Chain A
Amino acid sequence: MSDNTIHTLDIRDLHVSVEGEDGTAREILSGVTLTVRSGETHAIMGPNGSGKSTLAYAIAGHPKYTVTSGSITLDGEDVLAMGVDERARAGLFLAMQYPVEIPGVTVSNFLRTAKTAVDGEAPKLRTWVKEVNSAMAALRMDPAFAQRGVNEGFSGGEKKRHEILQLELLQPKIAVLDETDSGLDVDALKIVSEGVNRVRESSNLGVLLITHYTRILRYIKPDFVHVFIDGRIAEQGGPELADQLEDEGYDRFLTPTA
């Protein structure tokens, strides 16, 4: 998919709510507008609970999150009308903050099934095995992981590598990386960042990088930085905004009454 087509993920005035334990809906996102194109990297930074993961899940179509108004389109196609699997096949990818364990489903079986689903045909066995092995090697993942259950007993860092492994193999158009940096030590952070950069370069990937900290931005250079506060983008800028946040924190964005 390393063609020159520019893909566009367009999020317009997105409002998202979740249903609380008591059955009442609570609005988490209150009008998010954002456009991510192929080759661009957007960092979303914001304090805990500001709705970053909610945005990621809403894009991926998690059933717990209800879009109450606004739109998401990919190259003009209505993403909200698509099922979760259709979104992935359309070229969206979500690297999850908390990847789910699926006991008994081997990584190798899972990867092959996902690749087949996304491509619409089974990958050629020999080249596929090579591809998987070299992608795992690049992420310094022990080949033995291929025979383990998906995320089963993986450490936090191993789960994140596994997410990026999928990113490399599935070659989406636009990827949302939800706190892929959290739980990684410096070495792992570098390895994972290099993985993301490889995909950015080889397939002109558009990236929406959600993070708490600026340290990952030293390895994955953002073109745009968005500050997320209370379910909204409070400010946008270039990479310099991240440095500013590192120095000043989010304080100036938080309302004095909060």
Chain B
Amino acid sequence: MSLLTPSPTQSPDAHTHSGETMVPDASRAERTRSYAVADFPLPNGREEEWRFTPIDRLGSLLRDEPTGACLDWAESLPAGVTLTTMSVEEWQESGAPKPADRAAAVAAAHSGGVAVLTVPAEAEIEEPIRVSLRGNDGRVVHGHRLIEVGHHAKATIVLQHAGSAAYSEVLSIVAGDGADLTVVTLQEWDDDAIHLGQHDVVVGRDASVRHIAVTLGGSIVRLNTNATYAGPGGAFEALGVYFADAGQHLEHRLFVDHEAPHCTSNVEYKGALQGDGARTVWVGDVLIRASAEGTDTYELNRNLLLTDGARADSVPNLEIETGEIVGAGHAAATGRFDDEQLFYLMARGIPEAEARRLVVRGFFASVIRRIGVAEISDHLMKVIEEELRASDAALVAAAEGTA
């Protein structure tokens, strides 16, 4: 609620969250960005950007000290794509966006170096570039990466996270002019893992960047995705799918900062929750600055509560400083599983567990279809299927309990 500047073109009626009173930022643009950890005091949980996160469960992840630990890497790099390193200083000089919270500042300060994945200009890489990251021992790991895609290059990059770690990362994604880039980040951590990520996307002039977050595993996953535009004509699409089970906290925060004119952004996140204490947070901030004429933006978040005891927060914020836009809209909704849908399917002979799976798959279908990376869509459907299958017994029991 705090960030909305009402404007004649926008009605602030789609908010689904009525949070406790906060000291609001005057504008989303005013949040601190800095390389210095000291600029970000340890959060107490009342800060706007931390108020949903269970900071008491973060352990030493926000501590300002190196650990020397890293994740295991495996990558498949098609010809032309390179993986190199640069120093943190070089990274700072590259103009990549700065850390925006303490976790990111700590990660950037103590990563020891930046892994740089480069797709050269005008390269058209057909097959997905895969980077798989695995945590082994639950230790605190600081990750720092830069994806540089040259002008008019085309690529799909899939980052897979698995295993056990307490991981904070900064990922800068810089797409050159006219580039066509899809970055998929898969969070399939073990149950005890923690992942705090800051992904900054810089969309080049007339470039098209898709950021796809799929979060299924981990104790706490908090992913902040920020998009800015380096020039006019850029298109940014952020898609997300998450599925929270009992005890999981999955948080996705987006901030699309429209400064360049004639850019578009489209955000669509869908999540399902099941089990006691399953918790998701979605915050979608969109800022349309005075200079961003001709902006067209839409953001959507939907949550499906499959059982009692789960909670989804959904906070869309639109801040509009110019009336000269093509469109700006948002929609957010959280709903329970619809028993009438279940009845309809069962009345056609379909057993309850299968009917539930159909409804949940249907719920995710629109966003999964848009992912457009076949291996990810297929994988996602399979995993969702497994999630539902594994919990059928629990779901049926819960349904009977409330009938």
Contacts and interface: CB of A to CB of B under 8 A. Distances in A.
Contact of B347 (A88, A101, A102, A109): A88
Interface stretch (B33-41, B288-296, B354-362): B354-362
Please classify the interface of chain B as helix (H, G, I), strand (E, B), loop, or mixed, using the class held by over half of its residues: helix
Interface string A74-113: 0000000001110111000010100111111100011001
Contact of A105 (B349, B352, B361, B403): B361
Interface in B175-219: none
A164 interface: no
A123 interface: no
B339 interface: yes
Interface in A112-138: 113-114, 117-118
A183 interface: no
Nearest to A90: B349
Nearest to A149: B362
B345 to A, nearest CB: 7
Interface stretch (B116-124, B252-260, B322-330, B363-371): B363-371
B349 A94 contact: no
B348 interface: yes
A143 interface: no
Contact of A118 (B341, B343, B349, B403): B349
Nearest to A87: B347
A84 B362 contact: no
Interface residues of B, number: 25
A117 B349 contact: yes
B135 to A, nearest CB: 34
A194 B365 CA distance: 35
Contact of A102 (B351, B352, B362, B366): B362
A102 B346 contact: no
B362 A105 contact: yes
Nearest to B360: A104
A195 to B, nearest CB: 17
Given A104-B363, A113-B358, A88 B344 contact: no
Contacts of A83: 346, 352
A113 B354 contact: yes
30 contacts: A62-B343, A84-B343, A85-B346, A85-B349, A85-B350, A85-B351, A87-B347, A94-B347, A96-B344, A96-B347, A100-B340, A100-B343, A101-B341, A102-B341, A102-B358, A102-B362, A103-B363, A103-B366, A105-B359, A105-B361, A110-B345, A110-B358, A114-B348, A114-B350, A117-B348, A117-B349, A117-B350, A117-B351, A118-B349, A170-B349
Given A88-B347, A103-B363, A114-B348, 17 more contacts: A63-B403, A84-B347, A100-B340, A100-B341, A102-B344, A102-B345, A102-B359, A104-B361, A104-B364, A104-B365, A104-B366, A105-B359, A113-B354, A113-B358, A117-B348, A117-B351, A118-B349
